[in-house]
Amino acid sequence: MLFFTLILCFVISILITPLIKKLAVYIGATDKPNQRKVHQSTMPRLGGLAIFISFIVGIMIFKPINPASIAILLGSTIIVLTGICDDLFELSAKYKFIGQFAAAFTVVFLGDLQVIFINLPFGGQLELGYLSIPFTILWIVGITNAINLIDGLDGLAAGVSSIALVTISGMALIQGNLYVVAVGTIVLMGTLGFLFYNFHPASIFMGDTGALFLGFIISVLSLLGYKNVTFISFIIPVIILGVPISDTFFAIMRRIINKQPLSAPDKSHLHHCLLRLGYSHRQTVLLIYVMASFFGLVAVIYSQARIGISIFLICVLILLMEFIAEKIGLMGNNFHPLLKILRMFGITAAKDRS
């Protein structure tokens, strides 16, 4: 039954995306080129609506059973309506956050979805207590925005989200969480169907309708897996979403270093930096796909590894992320603390040899 549902979701997404494209042009939901954007011509957005419709059809047919199902559907609807309004009217950040928090509150309070504790690396648990609800809401809103921030190139957000959904669904299957497997793969099929039109050169953008929906559903699914499989470490969903989370983190650091508002737009995100290094549009997207797949692989290895190896993996991953960020200029051209340390040791080593 699930296999039939997945095929249907994929087909629906492929068939409905051209209709959404015509609707977007008709109602004026288009993305015009500007100084910050890579595309050179006006493009229809609202493509995420095709993913959402495919998702709704899949859920209605397969009907996965979980107490949080109604809350997830309501929250998804709120976030998609927020995205549609933004694609049509370009909402201010304040109103977008209102929609995101409303969706997060819906799944937290109606779906009783909360991170009660965090498993610690060397055993034991960190009980969140009164911070449980704020932590859960901030996680949902944070990941929702992280996916939205990487939606800067053809097929980038859809591809990275697909890789995250594959990893989340695969790990949920290993742990026996069939609800997460069902919902994750249903969203995955709709996203892949849309990606058929969205990969470079794209004929339609997913817009905030798609980016917010994918970020929201991925954040919720990672929490569901974390909540239901209580021995899974909190670090695993963080690793799975390593590309959008690290890009968002370095964007925040970059603005703090440059003394800019956190909401200030710029052209120094991961994809912008890779383009400046001379990679083509398609090469940049594929390279980030590889990075996202690497994070997914590390998450799987981490989940199966012993504590010592897990800690070693995290340390190597953090150093590697910092090295790449400084090398490509994610935090600006003048902020290279790790590279300076490496050069210092290089100079010292050279002196020692002489």
Give the containing element (helix H, strand E) for 124.
Answer: none
Model pLDDT, residue 353: 44
- Encoding tokens for residue 71? 């809350």
Q: Could you give the percent of the chain with pLDDT greater than 90?
A: 47
Q: Which residues contact 266 (CB under 8 A, 6 or more apart)?
A: 36, 251, 254, 255, 260
Residue 351 pLDDT greater than 50, yes or no? no
Q: Say how far apart CA 149 and CA 91 lie, in whole Å.
A: 15
Structure-model confidence comparison of residues 291 and 263, the more confident one:
291
The average pLDDT across 335-353 equals: 64
Q: Could you give the percent of the chain with pLDDT greater than 70?
A: 89
| Angle, helices 242-257/132-149, rounded to nearest 10 degrees | 90
Report the DSSP pairing between strands 43-44 and 30-31.
Answer: antiparallel
For the chain, report the end-to-end CA distance as a whole number of angstroms: 71
The average pLDDT across 142-147 equals: 92
Residue 248 pLDDT greater than 70, yes or no? yes
Structure-model confidence comparison of residues 259 and 197, the more confident one:
197
CB 76 within 8 A of CB 117: no
Tell me how far apart the 2 most distant CA atoms of the chain are, in Å: 73
Model pLDDT, residue 230: 39
Model pLDDT, residue 348: 39
- Model confidence at 8, in pLDDT bands (50, 70, 90)? very high
Model pLDDT, residue 36: 57
Residue 244 pLDDT greater than 60, yes or no? yes
Model pLDDT, residue 232: 45
Residue 62 pLDDT greater than 80, yes or no? yes
Domain ranges, ordered by start, for the chain: 2-353
Residue 179 pLDDT greater than 70, yes or no? yes
The three-state secondary structure class of 273 is: helix
Residue 349 pLDDT greater than 50, yes or no? no
| Range from 24-38, 63-77, 185-199, 303-317 that averages highest in pLDDT | 185-199
Averaged confidence pLDDT in the chain:
86
CB 254 within 8 A of CB 331: yes
- Model confidence at 352, in pLDDT bands (50, 70, 90)? very low
Percentages of the chain per state (helix, strand, coil), in multiples of 5: 70, 5, 25
Q: Say how far apart CA 10 and CA 13 lie, in whole Å.
A: 5
| Range from 142-146, 235-239, 338-342, 348-352 that averages highest in pLDDT | 142-146
Model pLDDT, residue 124: 64
The average pLDDT across 216-235 equals: 69
- Model confidence at 231, in pLDDT bands (50, 70, 90)? very low
The average pLDDT across 298-325 equals: 85
Model pLDDT, residue 183: 95
